[in-house]
C-alpha cells in the first residue's frame, strides 16, 4: 500500500471501513502478537510474507483465523 492506493494502484477504502487484524508471530523465539487495522480486502498473504515469523492472522472482532502458516 502506498499513500491513498494499494501498490496495484487500486484506491484504498475510507479508514472507517478498515478492520482490526491480530498478527501472531515469533520474535527472537518468543510468541508475541500485535493488532493493526487494514482494509477488509487486503492481501493477508502479502502481509505475512513481509513479516517473517508470522504464525497466524486473526480477525480482531470475531477471532476467526484468516491466515495460518502452512
Domain range summary for the chain, segments of one domain joined by +:
18-68
- What is the reported pLDDT for 45? 93
The grid coordinates listed for 44 are: 493477508
| In the predicted structure, residue 3 carries a pLDDT above the cut 80 | no
pLDDT at 2: 52
Our measurement of the distance from residue 52's CA atom to the centroid of its chain's CA atoms, rounded to an integer in Å, reads 13
- Grid cell in block for residue 19: 478492520
Report pTM: 0.84
Alpha-carbon distance 8 to 33, whole Å? 28
CA–CA gap between residue 35 and residue 9 (Å, rounded): 25
Which pLDDT score is estimated for 14?
92
d(CA 17, CA 7): 19
27-59 pLDDT, tens digit per residue, is: 899 999 999 999 999 999 999 998 889 999 999
Amino acid at each position: 500500500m502506498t499513500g491513498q492506493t494499494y501498490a496495484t494502484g487500486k484506491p484504498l477504502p475510507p479508514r472507517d471501513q478498515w478492520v482490526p487484524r491480530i498478527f501472531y508471530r515469533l520474535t527472537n523465539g518468543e510468541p508475541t502478537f500485535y493488532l493493526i487495522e487494514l482494509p477488509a480486502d487486503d492481501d493477508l498473504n502479502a502481509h505475512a510474507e513481509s513479516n517473517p515469523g508470522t504464525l497466524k492472522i486473526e480477525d480482531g472482532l470475531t477471532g476467526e483465523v484468516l491466515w495460518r502458516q502452512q
